[in-house]
């Protein structure tokens, strides 16, 4: 397939890398939502054989979501290597894309045949034909690169986007010279040292930029068409097993009846589903507030300009704790809670709401003060919610984790470090 992404300037490159970061971020949230929606025990209308398969699928989907976090980190390494700022922004769900790919509706869905086909469409290799999925019709436009003001460009697959970015790096390296193109500080890069992914390498020149891009493409769609071990192949394996179990047990549903619902209407979502159960709304708010703090921690990490190695370690460890021991348990908890009387029988799914991510935290002590203060507020909120529920165990565990993270940040918030 002819590459339709054209990059002829640093500004266009940074713009398209922000588009790539947005896409990685949204796909990651979609996979996490699908994972959180899965049933967890036989009391939810499934048998042991089905539960075993569901747990296996959960491990696969969770691992893929983790790799999307890696890809988001690599996209930010690519962005900061050429002088850009880290980018963790995105629109709220659901979102009708204009560019990636055109007219694709990015939405939060429980894991079932429909969502699996959506995932296959998003991760498909360029050379592999796949049947159209409703809501994912692609309409390719003409290249728009070369203009003084950058704008989104059409592309059919994630791989095609990154091939365009790859060509952009090659073009600019040749025309600017590598030293002039890669002006970012090598210190301002996420690496295995902080997050544990051996594939997370610093981007400091053309060779390392191309290596980062190849990692993203290989893990997503496969190495130049070898997709069996890539995300596409993993989702295809789940879909085939799902259909096999469904054929044996027609009533089988691996997921809770989950609906992504907001506590209050976001300004960028038309006719959003709203929660009208008070306790559910409270935990949904805690999830979204915790998610915002996670993004602020990551933003602060990638904005490394005046952060010590000790501070970077604290930020990376806090981010990992937030993902594993706050976001994940709260996400699974919400999908077992009711939307409210107006949606009988449906449970709530986390929306990963974006409500304040239009700013970066300031440099220096002020950023630590803001993060520490916010974490203490979350500790208090989790404590209050735990007293309102008959099953406070998870909320108390979340409260403890948030308290530990706040304690780790406290020295940086109370000194001139």
- Supply the DSSP string of 306-352, one letter for each residue: T--HHHHHHHHHHHHHHIIIIIHHHHHHHTTSB--TTSTT-EEE---
pLDDT of 26 reads 92
Q: How confident is the model at residue 148 (pLDDT cuts 50, 70, 90)?
A: low
Tens of pLDDT, residues 264-304: 988 888 888 999 999 999 999 999 999 999 999 998 888 76
pLDDT of 140 reads 43
Tens of pLDDT, residues 185-207: 877 788 888 888 899 999 999 99
Domain 1-256 classification at class level: mainly alpha
Q: CA-CA distance, 404 to 375, in Å (whole number)?
A: 10
Lowest mean pLDDT among 81-95, 140-154, 306-320, 394-408: 140-154
Q: How confident is the model at residue 142 (pLDDT cuts 50, 70, 90)?
A: very low
Lowest mean pLDDT among 31-40, 132-141, 238-247, 286-295: 132-141
pLDDT of 145 reads 47
DSSP-assigned letter for residue 388: T
* pLDDT, mean of residues 182-186: 86
pLDDT exceeds cutoff 60 at 395: yes
- According to CATH, where is 1.20.1260.10 located in the chain? 1-256, 265-417
Partnered with residue 274 across adjacent β-strands are 262
Query: For the chain, what percent of residues have pLDDT higher than 90?
Result: 60
Average pLDDT of the chain, as a whole number: 86
pLDDT exceeds cutoff 80 at 1: no
From 1.20.120.330, 1.20.140.10, 3.50.50.60, 1.20.1260.10, which CATH number describes the 265-417 domain? 1.20.1260.10
pTM: 0.90
Q: How confident is the model at residue 330 (pLDDT cuts 50, 70, 90)?
A: very high
**b/e string for 356-377 if b means 16 or more Cβ within 10 A?**
ebeebbeeeeebbbbbbebbbe
pLDDT of 130 reads 57
Q: How long is the chain? A: 417
pLDDT exceeds cutoff 60 at 134: no
Q: CA-CA distance, 216 to 18, in Å (whole number)?
A: 15
The first and second tokens of residue 315, run together, are 């930020």
CA 43 from chain centre, in angstroms, equals: 30
Q: CA-CA distance, 305 to 253, in Å (whole number)?
A: 49
Tens of pLDDT, residues 102-122: 656 788 999 999 999 988 888
Inter-helix orientation angle 48-81/231-248, to 10°? 160
Tens of pLDDT, residues 218-259: 887 654 556 777 888 899 999 999 999 999 999 999 999 999
pLDDT of 138 reads 47
Cα distance between the two ends of the chain: 52
Q: CA-CA distance, 1 to 344, in Å (whole number)?
A: 47
Cα 231–Cα 316–Cα 198 angle in degrees, nearest 5: 45
The first and second tokens of residue 240, run together, are 């085939």
């Amino acid at each position: 397939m002819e590459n339709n992404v054209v990059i002829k300037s640093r500004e266009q490159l940074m713009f398209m890398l922000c588009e790539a970061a947005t896409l990685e971020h949204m796909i990651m949230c979609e996979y996490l939502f699908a994972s959180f929606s899965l049933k967890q025990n036989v009391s939810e209308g499934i048998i042991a054989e089905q539960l075993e398969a569901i747990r296996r699928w959960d491990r696969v989907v969770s691992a893929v979501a983790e790799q999307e976090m890696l890809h988001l980190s690599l996209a930010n390494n690519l962005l900061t290597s050429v002088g850009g700022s880290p980018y963790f922004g995105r629109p709220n769900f659901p979102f009708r894309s204009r560019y990636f790919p055109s007219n694709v509706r990015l939405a939060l869905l429980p894991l079932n045949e429909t969502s699996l086909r959506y995932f296959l469409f998003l991760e498909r290799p360029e050379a592999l034909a796949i049947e159209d999925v409703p809501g994912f019709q692609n309409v390719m436009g003409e290249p728009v690169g070369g203009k003084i003001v950058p704008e989104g460009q059409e592309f059919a697959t994630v791989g095609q986007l990154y091939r365009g970015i790859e060509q952009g790096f090659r073009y600019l390296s040749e025309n600017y010279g590598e030293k002039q193109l890669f002006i970012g500080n090598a210190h301002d890069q996420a690496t295995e040292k902080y997050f544990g992914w051996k594939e997370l390498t610093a981007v400091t020149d053309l060779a390392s930029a191309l290596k980062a891009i190849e990692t993203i493409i290989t893990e997503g769609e496969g190495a130049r068409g070898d997709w069996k071990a890539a995300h596409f192949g993993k989702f295809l394996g789940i879909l085939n097993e799902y259909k096999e179990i469904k054929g044996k047990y027609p009533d089988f549903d691996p997921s809770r009846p989950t609906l992504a619902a907001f506590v209050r209407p976001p300004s960028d979502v038309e006719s959003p589903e709203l929660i009208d159960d008070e306790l559910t709304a409270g935990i949904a708010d805690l999830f979204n507030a915790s998610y915002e703090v996670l993004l602020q921690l990551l933003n602060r990490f990638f904005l490394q300009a005046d952060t010590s190695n000790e501070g970077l370690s604290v930020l990376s460890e806090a981010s990992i704790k937030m993902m594993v021991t706050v976001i994940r348990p709260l996400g699974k908890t919400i999908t077992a809670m009711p939307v409210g009387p107006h949606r009988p029988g449906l449970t709530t799914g986390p929306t990963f709401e974006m409500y304040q991510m239009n700013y970066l935290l300031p440099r220096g002590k002020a950023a630590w003060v803001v993060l520490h203060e916010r974490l203490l507020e979350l500790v208090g909120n989790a404590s209050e919610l735990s007293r309102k529920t008959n099953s406070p165990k998870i909320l108390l565990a979340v409260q403890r984790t948030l308290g530990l993270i706040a304690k780790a940040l406290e020295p940086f918030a109370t000194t001139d470090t």
